[in-house]
Structures are given as structure tokens and as C-alpha cells.
Structure 1
Amino acid sequence: MSSLDLLPFQGMEPAVQGEINKATKVVTRKKGDAIFADDELTRYFYVVKSGKVKNYQLNLDNGKEQTLYIFREGDMFDTVTLLDGEPHDVMYEVIEACELLQFPIDFVRDLLKHPEFNKRFFPYIAKQMRHIEELATDMSLYSTAERLIKLIIQDRDPKSIFRFNILEGLSHSEVANLLGTVRHVVERHLKALKEDSLINVQNKRIEILNADRLLQKINLL
């Protein structure tokens, strides 16, 4: 796959496409790598070509972790640093071996002058903002059990850009990090949903058996 096949770069003018190809460096990272030390993200901008990268916050005092995003093919980061030029207090870890397209961050800032890039970039930023808003709302208004049900439903919803098909292959610990809880709590709730014949769990895959009853549990139906 060419870098120009990825969503942020589709439809760019031929001259700009040539500049993008010149600026692109492909970097590979293996599962478990903790990437982007020091000021790297103030100097480079990344687009995921393949694999998965987790973006998260960590409380160093108690070890509690909250996953904000799991970036996949076509996702971009760090958009906050790109726009404001300041370091972003988040951490990154590769959870599935990946290839990343690396660009000098000033080159991407110049791309913001091109309407075709902006047509894709700014709606993507809006989706990131909506995702974080929803995450904050869910943490405030829903119980862990309800957030888990909502996550399972969003995992099957193509309109949920940062949650669609996100659970496949994730460990229960990673699912817990998405919800801001711990593994044994997730396992307890999954067991209860399975005993109610609402889901089936096998080989790190969650199958919905009764979507209507799941929706009723969180008053979305």
C-alpha cells in the first residue's frame, strides 16, 4: 500500500503527492514497544500504515491506565502537538506490530494549506474531539458494566470510527484499559453477560447473541 492510498492523502494534487512521497519515511515497531521518547512528537507526525498503536494516560502513583485511542490504518497522531506546537502528556505503546509513516511535523503543517488535505484532516480532528467528549461523558454517567456493554455494541457499529472492530484480539487487560478499570472487573461483567445469553466469548472474540436486550440494559433502545 502506498502512503497516498491512506485516507489523509487521497485526492492530493500530483505535485503535492510527489512532495509527500519525498517526505515519507516508513518506520516499523514490534508489539510491546513503548515509542516516542522525549520530544520526538514535537518533531515528527505519524500516520498508521498497518498494525495498532495505543495512546493512553497512566497514573504513576497507582498504576491505573486509561486508553484514549487505539490507532489503526489511516489514523494520525499527534494532532494536538501538530496544531499547538506543545508537547502532549500522553504515552504510546504498540499493541500489534505496525508500520508507521513518519513526516517532519513542519511539513505536515505546510500541508494544512492544501484544501484537499484539510477536507480529510479537520473532520478527523472533529471525530477525535467527539470521541474524547463521549469518553468523558461515559466515565461520568455510566457504570463500568454499562460502559462495557456500550463498547461491545460500538465494536459492531461501522459509524463508531474509533471503536468499530476494536475488540478483536484484545486481551481482557486491554479491554479494561479502554474502560478505565481492571481486568477482573471486566471478566466478571463478561461472565454475567455470557450467563444471560447476551454474548459469547471465544478466542478473544465477543459475539453478540441478543443485541436488543443489550441495548435495553443501557436504555439505548
Structure 2
Amino acid sequence: MSNQDLIHSVVTDDEPVLQLPDLVSNKKLIKYEEGEMAFDSYDTMNYFYFIMSGKIKISQINPDTAKEQTISILTRGDMFDTITLLDGEEHEYTSTVIEDSEVVEVPIGHVRELIHSDAKFKSFFFPYLAKQMRDSEELAVDLSLYDVYNRILRLIGRNIDTNGGVTKLNLIDNLSHEELASLVGSVRKVVNRNLQKLKDEGIIELSRKHIKLKNLKHLLDKLKY
């Protein structure tokens, strides 16, 4: 995997994925406030969701230790839940709204019909599904093969936005260190220490709940392997 493979850009306003709800007739707009629980496994047995704005965290929590692992953070242009959509089985997860969000809710049966009959929908859905599979593989690789310092480096690399000729971070730029720890499979204290190391190395700048990329070249040099 090259350095550039680790860099993703945010979905722009003119990307067609944001028009996906226009393909469905039976839909409902739902608004969630920060701190709420969004949809649950019962909901996603019956409905499919298109994220229009905000951020919703999907995670798994060990009931014995209360340790949390963030699986993904859904934002504008994302869809949920492709797992239940495809296999029809209940999917255990916890959804937490970490930024005021809007979603479009569509009956899951209607979406299954679109997969079989609508070429335009399929042209959006299957590339998105492939990206989800790739993201899951990258998460497994990170947790298995890299220490926390390198997991954070790779997380930053995957969330660089270069749209408009300006390099910045998306998705993770305003997350708390607790949320970042859940993303990289660690704890806040360890993440704090490694973020400070990246700051000392001149790669990032830190302020309260904000990470700013300071030196892209240095980051890419660190990601070489």
C-alpha cells in the first residue's frame, strides 16, 4: 500500500452519492442531537439509513470491561447498515451521535429491490460496499500489526482532505482524545502521549478537541514502510 492509498478526501457537495435518497420514494428525514443514541439493531432490521450531515459513531463495547472499539464514524455520504441489508441477520452495535446529524430512513425491503433492479443505485452502492470492506481490513491490520503511534499516523493519513488545494483533516479533526482512543484501540492517556510526540515532531498542531496537520511531507515520510 502506498502513502497515497492512505489518503482519502471528503465527499464533496457535487458527489452523486449525496443524491442517493432521491432514488427512493418511501423515505423519512430524521434529526438526531449530539449525545443521543441513533438507530439500533431493531431499526436496521427494518430500515436502511443514508447519512446527510453530522457524525454518528458505530462501536462495539465489551460488557465485562466496558472497553469500546469504534468500528466507523458515519458522516455525510455514508450508508448504514450494509451488513444487515445483505445477510438479513441482526447486527449488534452501539450508535452514538457525536455531532448533530440528519439521516434519511428508507424501508430495507425497498433498498434490497433497488440493489436488484436499479442500475443507478447499484453504481453507487457496490463501490461504497467495497470501500467499507477495505476500511474494515485496514482497521484489522492496524490493530494487529502496528503500535499506537503508527495507528495514529495511519488514521491521520486516511483522513486528509486535499480538496480546494488546501490540506486539512476531516472527520477526526474535532474528536476528543477519548474518541480517538476508541478509533485506534487504545486509551486516552496513551493517545495523549503519542499526539504530543507528533506535535513535538512538528507533524501536527493541537488545540482543545482540534488536530491540525502542520507538515504533510513529514507525515508521508513517517508512513513509508
TM-score > 0.5 by shorter chain: yes
SS at match of 2:160: coil
What residue in structure 2 maps to residue 77 of structure 1?
Answer: 80
SS at match of 1:66: strand
Shift, 1:158, TM fit? 5.7
Q: Distance in 2 between matches of 1:146 and 1:185?
A: 12
Bigger shift: residues 102-111 or 32-41: 32-41
Instruction: Point out the structure with max Rg over C-alpha.
Output: 1
Map Cα deviations across residues 109-167 of structure 1 (whole Å, 9 max, x no partner): 111121110011011000000000011011111101100011122221569xxxx6111
Greater RCO, CA 8 A, separation 6+: 2
Asked if 1:180 is matched to 2:190, the reply is no
Asked if 1:194 is matched to 2:199, the reply is yes
Q: Structure 1's 157 and 137: CA in aligned 2 closer, same or farther, altered over 3 A?
A: farther
Asked if 1:167 is matched to 2:172, the reply is yes
Which of residues 45, 48, 51 is equivalent to 1:45? 48
Q: Percent identity?
A: 41
What are the ranges of 5 or more consecutive residues in structure 1 without an aligned counterpart?
A: none
Quick check: 1:36–1:92 contact (8 Å CA) kept in 2?
yes
Asked if 1:33 is matched to 2:36, the reply is yes
Shift, 1:202, TM fit? 1.9
What residue in structure 2 maps to residue 60 of structure 1?
Answer: 63
Shift, 1:11, TM fit? 11
Quick check: 2:40–2:95 contact (8 Å CA) kept in 1?
no
SS at match of 1:170: coil
RMSD: 2.2
What residue in structure 2 maps to residue 131 of structure 1?
Answer: 135
Q: Structure 1's 38 and 131: CA in aligned 2 closer, same or farther, altered over 3 A?
A: closer
Which of residues 151, 156, 176 is equivalent to 2:155? 151
Q: Distance in 1 between matches of 2:16 and 2:61?
A: 30
What residue in structure 2 maps to residue 213 of structure 1?
Answer: 218
SS at match of 1:39: helix
Quick check: 2:177–2:191 contact (8 Å CA) kept in 1?
yes
- TM-score when scaled to structure 2? 0.84
SS at match of 2:34: coil
- TM-score when scaled to structure 1? 0.85
